[in-house]
């Protein structure tokens, strides 16, 4: 698990104060890391061309631009062209000094207005473009000059590297015109802006640069704002004991409503992820040999799924709500249609032990029904962290899994007295299919039935869901059945 910070400038400041790191030393380390990312691609990428390779650096006015000037100086000793497109004059003294040093060593400088003609120059071929325009403290909107440069740079066929964050992404990870990087080098620590839904199309591979002290020493100076999940956090339900029976591994009950297919998909995923027994409630025949059916909730239920294809006006909802109130120790996954019921506020207030798995539109309905007000889907996408903190701060005994290109898991930490947020950036666009959300609900419920707590069930199921999707050969070909089959290959 890795730490993520909203703003690392305070870390920069504290590291300079505590470890006597100068700004210039930190820039030199940043440029060294950028250089190590650039060098393998200069001649590799240029092998497609016949002319002398060139590294093009886009430099902004601030210290991110200064990093670019230092990089240009370091690269100038190699046998290839180095050019810097300067978006405005340096605004800080150290940036002015770094530019002057590069200039004295013969680095070429071009203006934004000459960029397109420079790119078309036939005496060399651009093999790498390095984005050093804005850092993670950027606030929208972009100025017209930067917009034009980023748009031109995105058209260049070359390997692209971003310094700190892709320029055009603001501190919340939003932006309209964004530099499209193949690799992003985060300075010192990971930033939240790198893990928005929007950012997933622009960051490429993300790595962290050491600025002169170890990453642990750097990050220790401040409390992280979120945590990046890694594969090691996926604790699969491997069976260790031999003297067991089907009841040992729990009984998942799923409410079948108007669209029974959704509940059936969730039921099959729950069974495939280790639950000993699975029952569809509200129908007489499940249609599957391994899935039971019952008109009433089984007495030995150890986890429940409510909402998948349930319908937004299903009168039987009261039966399930009453069950929850009478059986507060039985964990439950709430999904899909159930977020549109106004009664959900009373339910969440009276008890916890819930894992809620909305996508942004469902989260909008949930927030409104829980008294937080009306939020559009766009507002939710842009303010995900803020809204998760609001929700989990009020309903402290439940776990929220907000689905998206990057999955966010929010939970109240009693030990720390704050909402902790875990990010799952894995998986891919193959999951943009009907039924994949139902599979996630089934996976979580299966783990709950087997004794996992809500947080660990949400984390492991979410990661399993994502990593299984990456095993599908063609991203357009995923089906619910295929995704469930890939779970067994983890």
131 marked among binding-site residues:
yes
Contact assessment for residue 290 and residue 466, using Cβ atoms and an 8 Å cutoff: no
167 marked as part of a ligand binding site: yes
Burial of 32 (0-12, 13-18, 19+ CB in 10 A): middle
- Exposed/middle/buried for residue 371 (C-beta within 10 Å: 0-12, 13-18, 19+): exposed
437 known ligand binder: yes
Q: How far is CA 134 from CA 58, 62, 268, 430, in A?
A: 10, 7, 47, 32
197 annotated as a binding-site residue: no
Is residue 294 packed enough to be buried (19+ CB in 10 Å), middle (13-18) or exposed (0-12)?
middle
Ligand-binding site membership of 307 (annotated): no
d(CA 29, CA 19): 15
| Paired tokens of 5 | 């910070």
Cα–Cα dist 446/451, whole Å = 9
Q: Is 141 annotated as a binding residue?
A: yes
Element (H, E) at 208: strand 205-209
44 is known to lie in a ligand binding site: no
H or E element at residue 85: strand 81-86
By DSSP bridging, strand 407-413 and strand 398-402 are antiparallel
Alpha-carbon torsion (397, 402, 403, 405), positive or negative: negative
- Burial readout 341-354 (b: 16 or more C-beta within 10 A, e: otherwise): beebbebbeebbbb
Instruction: Check whether 438 is labelled as a binding-site residue.
Output: yes
Alpha helices in 309-355 (DSSP H): 317-326, 344-350
- Annotation-wise, does 64 bind a ligand? yes
Report the Cα 385 to chain-centroid distance in Å.
11
Is 199 annotated for ligand binding?
Answer: no
The reply, when asked if residue 67 is annotated as ligand binding, is yes
Query: Is 136 marked within a binding site?
Result: yes
66 labelled binding-site residue? yes
Dihedral over Cα of 477, 482, 487, 490: its sign:
negative
Give the residue numbers of the binding site for K(+): 64, 131, 167
Give the residue numbers of the binding site for AMP: 437
Give the residue numbers of the binding site for (6S)-NADPHX: 63-67, 135-141, 164, 262, 309, 359, 438
Give the residue numbers of the binding site: 63-67, 131, 135-141, 164, 167, 262, 309, 359, 437-438
């Amino acid at each position: 698990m890795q730490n993520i910070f909203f703003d690392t400038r305070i870390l920069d400041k504290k590291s300079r104060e505590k470890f006597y790191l100068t700004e210039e030393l930190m820039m030199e380390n940043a440029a060294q890391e950028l250089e190590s990312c650039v060098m393998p691609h200069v001649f590799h990428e240029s092998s497609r061309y016949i002319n002398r390779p060139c590294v093009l650096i886009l430099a902004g006015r601030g210290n991110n631009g200064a990093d670019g000037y230092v990089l240009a100086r370091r690269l100038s000793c190699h046998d290839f062209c180095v050019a810097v497109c300067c978006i405005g004059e340096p605004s800080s003294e150290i940036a002015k000094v770094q530019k002057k040093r590069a200039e004295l060593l013969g680095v070429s400088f071009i203006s934004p207005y000459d960029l397109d003609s420079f790119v078309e120059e036939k005496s060399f071929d651009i093999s790498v473009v390095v984005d050093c325009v804005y850092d993670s403290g950027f606030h929208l909107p972009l100025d017209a000059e930067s917009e034009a440069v980023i748009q031109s740079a995105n058209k260049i066929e070359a390997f692209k590297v971003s310094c700190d964050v892709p320029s055009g992404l603001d501190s919340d990870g939003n932006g309209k015109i964004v530099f499209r990087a193949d690799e992003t080098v985060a300075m010192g620590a990971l930033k939240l802006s790198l893990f928005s839904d929007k950012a997933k199309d622009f960051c490429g591979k993300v790595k962290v640069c050491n600025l002169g002290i170890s990453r642990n020493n750097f990050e220790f100076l401040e409390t992280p704002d979120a945590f990046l999940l890694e594969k090691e956090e996926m604790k699969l339900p491997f069976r260790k004991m031999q003297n067991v029976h089907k009841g040992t591994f729990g009984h998942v009950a799923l409410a079948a409503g108007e669209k029974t297919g959704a509940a059936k998909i969730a039921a099959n995923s729950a069974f495939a992820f280790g639950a000993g027994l699975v029952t569809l409630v509200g129908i007489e025949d499940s249609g599957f040999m391994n899935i039971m059916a019952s008109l009433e909730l089984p007495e030995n239920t150890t986890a429940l799924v409510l909402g998948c294809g349930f319908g937004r006006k299903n009168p039987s909802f009261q039966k399930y709500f009453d069950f929850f109130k009478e059986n507060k120790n039985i964990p439950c996954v709430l999904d899909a249609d159930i977020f549109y019921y106004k009664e959900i506020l009373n339910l969440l207030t009276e008890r916890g032990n819930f894992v809620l798995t909305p996508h942004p539109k469902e989260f909008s309905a949930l927030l409104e029904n829980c008294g937080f007000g009306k939020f559009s889907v766009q507002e939710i996408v842009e303010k995900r962290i803020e809204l998760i903190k609001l929700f989990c701060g009020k309903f402290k005994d439940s776990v929220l899994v907000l689905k998206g290109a990057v999955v966010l898991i929010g939970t109240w930490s009693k030990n720390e007295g704050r909402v902790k947020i875990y990010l799952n950036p894995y998986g891919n666009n193959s999951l943009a299919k009907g039924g994949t959300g139902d599979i996630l609900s089934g996976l979580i419920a299966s783990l709950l039935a087997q004794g996992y707590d809500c947080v660990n069930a949400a984390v492991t199921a979410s990661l399993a869901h994502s990593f299984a999707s990456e095993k599908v050969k063609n991203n357009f070909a995923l089906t619910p059945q295929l995704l469930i089959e890939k779970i067994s290959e983890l």
